[in-house]
Structure 1
Amino acid sequence: MNEHFNDIFVTTGCPSQQQLLDYVQGKLTAEEQHEVEIHLADCELCSEALEGLTAIKEKEKIPGWIHEMKWDLLKKLHKRNRSRRKTETYLYLTIIILSMLFLLLALFWAYHFSIHHK
């Protein structure tokens, strides 16, 4: 969609969403599991995410929920950015209109005073 809306785990040293899901579901090799556990010891965010994942009983539904939540978030961010651009457009348009009005008023006064002073 947009480079500003990339997954937050992509540019960190944190395990990917899929790795955390695989860890919860017991699908990782012993070495991969050990790497995730080492990371979890130092990363509060991932530890809390894992705690939340382990509390879910229907673990097979987690990827679908994550996908749905991610798209909902992307839609909200896109809507907010579109709204912000719309507001900026109205602001610029207002500034242009006011500038033109002041210019016309200045021209009117200049013309008016030039006629009356002759």
Structure 2
Amino acid sequence: MQQQANAQTDMNNEFADIFTETACPSQDQLLAYVKGELSASERHEVEKHLQDCELCSEAVEGLSAISRKDQIPGWLRQAKWNVLHTLRRKTRRKKKANYYLYYAIVVLIVLFMAIALFWIYYFSRR
């Protein structure tokens, strides 16, 4: 479990720009809004934002449709973990592909040098 937490921290740092802060309410605020746990002034601010933000409006609509709202934070953490894990795997594959490309280039250079040395040796003996 500790290893998973460390891996998650590493991935969060590596892909931190994906989940940047915005002017939108936080996930917790939207969930509290759906549950009816916000004060009147907080509720008003969220409603004002929802009028201008289609993404947050759709998020609230989706959250409202979920019957087991107490499990939503865990699902969100798991979804974020899955996205970060997938991105990390993809970047790791790209890095491996780059190593294979470098290896192929080095092999070609060595091969061309061997051919050049053979030609120099062959033509210098004539």
Q: What is the TM-score normalised by the length of structure 2?
A: 0.85
RMSD of aligned C-alpha atoms? Answer: 1.5
Residues 75-96 of structure 1 show CA distances to partners (whole Å, capped at 9, x for unaligned) of 1111111111111111111111
Higher Cα radius of gyration: 1
Identity of aligned residues (%): 53
Unaligned runs of 5+ in 1: none
1:26 aligns with 2:36: yes
- Conserved 8 A contact 1:9-1:17: no
CA distance in 1 between partners of 2:18 and 2:42 (Å): 21
1:15 aligns with 2:9: no
Unaligned runs of 5+ in 2: 1-9
CA distance in 1 between partners of 2:118 and 2:44 (Å): 80
Give the counterpart of 1:80 among 55, 72, 90.
Answer: 90
CA distance in 1 between partners of 2:20 and 2:39 (Å): 21
Give the letter for the 2:72 counterpart: I
**Which residue pairs with 1:38 in the alignment?**
48
Aligned residue runs from structure 1 range 80-99, under 5 A:
80-99=90-109
Which protein, 1 or 2, shows the higher relative CO under an 8 Å CA cutoff with sep ≥ 6?
Answer: 2
- Conserved 8 A contact 1:14-1:39: yes
Large movers: runs of 4+ above 4 Å: none
Tell me by how many angstroms 1:6 deviates. Answer: 2.7
Give the letter for the 1:113 counterpart: F
Residue 75 and residue 53 in structure 1: after superposition, are their counterparts in 2 closer, same or farther (change >3 A)? Answer: same
